[in-house]
Amino acid sequence: MILIVDGLTKKYGDVIAVNNISFNIEQGKIFGFIGPNGAGKTTTIKSIAGLISFDEGNITVNDCNIIKESEKAKSVMGYIPDTPFLYDKLTGKEFLYFIARIFKMTKNHIEKNIDKYASLFEFEDYMDLKTEDYSHGMKQRIIIASAFIHDPKLILIDEPMVGLDPKIAKIVKDTLRKYANNGGSVFLSTHTLSLAEEICDEIGIMNKGNIVYKGNIDNLKDKLKKDNLEELFLEITKNE
Ligand SMILES: Nc1ncnc2c1ncn2[C@@H]1O[C@H](COP(=O)(O)OP(=O)(O)OP(=O)(O)O)[C@@H](O)[C@H]1O
Ligand SMILES: [Mg+2]
């Protein structure tokens, strides 16, 4: 298991954003979180990324406790937040260098990976422009590349496809699948149900802080006798 979330609870004052949830992700698998606005997806991802404290439970990433061995756990993760942040005055290349240096990568390794992802996500021509001059989708490509740059074992993505054109969205999808096929693991949250259906090995449906279903999409469809994920999602989250 690359990720073990055990009894995670996070409260904001009286609001229980995440209510005693547990799930695991195996190496080489893509796990997708879907759920209505305010369900607790971002809160869960931020807890795993080590960005916020939580009230109860344990999170283990690659055998390291996210609180007690935070730096070690973070060193094997790549994180793409729901509202990506770039340093406007840096060029795309400088930003990727900056991130890679945080992970203590060597110059050769950095250059190799920058070339790889610039070519894959087609931003070679923008590399030396300041990111303040990028379009939304171009910023998103740099952010996605920055999560892959240090060859992490686990990638966390909060809404990966927002703002990407169809061609790059497909490339990102294929890249995630290939990365998982080569032993990487992905935890993503999405409102794009077709994406969850297409690339996730397993999904968790979250509602009001609880995981109301966890497992394989086909099994869930069989169980509820629905053949479409949208209907299924509406059914599962309607009365909660
Ligand atoms: N910093 C915060 N302070 C107070 N309450 C918060 C904070 N962040 C989130 N919440 C609350 O926690 C709950 C879960 O929010 P969260 O952002 O995790 O949902 P989400 O599933 O990511 O939703 P969305 O689909 O809209 O991105 C909501 O009720 C939200 O209002
Ligand atoms: Mg969110």
34 C-beta closer than 6 A to ligand 1: no
Task: Give, for 155, the enclosing helix (H) or strand (E).
Answer: strand 154-158
180 burial class (0-12, 13-18, 19+ CB within 10 angstroms)?
buried
The closest-lying atom of ligand 1 relative to the alpha carbon of residue 35 is: 21
* Cα within 13 Å of Cα(149), Cβ side: 31
17 C-beta closer than 6 A to ligand 1: yes
- Residues 179, 68 share a domain: yes
| Residue pair 240/208 in contact by the 8 Å Cβ criterion | yes
41 C-beta closer than 6 A to ligand 1: yes
Number of H helices and E strands in the chain, helices first, is 9, 10
Query: What are the φ/ψ torsions at residue 74 (nearest 5 degrees)?
Result: -65, -25
Q: Where are the beta strands (DSSP E) in 13-66?
A: 15-25, 30-34, 56-61, 64-65
Longest Cα–Cα distance of the chain, Å, equals 54
Q: Please tell me the distance between residue 117's alpha carbon and the centre of ligand 1 in angstroms.
A: 32
What is the Cα Rg of the chain in Å? Answer: 18
42 C-beta closer than 6 A to ligand 1: yes
Q: For residue 10, give the CATH number of its domain.
A: 3.40.50.300
- Residues 121, 54 share a domain: no
Helix (H, G, I), strand (E, B) or coil at 10: strand
- Residues 95, 41 share a domain: no
- Residues 159, 146 share a domain: no
- Residues 171, 127 share a domain: no
Query: For the chain, how many structural domains are there in total?
Result: 2
Mutate which of 43, 156, 211 to test ligand 1's pocket (most atoms within 8 Å of Cβ)?
A: 43
Q: What is the pTM of this model?
A: 0.94
Predicted confidence pLDDT, tens digits, the chain (240 residues): 999 999 999 999 999 999 999 999 999 999 999 999 999 999 999 999 999 999 999 999 999 999 999 999 999 999 999 887 899 999 999 999 999 999 999 999 999 999 999 999 999 999 999 999 999 888 989 999 999 999 999 999 998 787 788 888 888 898 999 999 999 999 999 988 888 888 999 999 999 999 998 988 888 778 777 777 888 888 878 764
The closest-lying atom of ligand 1 relative to the alpha carbon of residue 40 is: 18
Q: How many CB atoms lie within 10 A of CB 125?
A: 9
Domain range for 42 is 1-76+153-240
Q: Please tell me the distance between residue 37's alpha carbon and the centre of ligand 2 in angstroms.
A: 7
Q: How many Å apart are CA 39 and CA 42, to the nearest integer?
A: 8
Q: Please tell me the distance between residue 211's alpha carbon and the centre of ligand 2 in angstroms.
A: 15
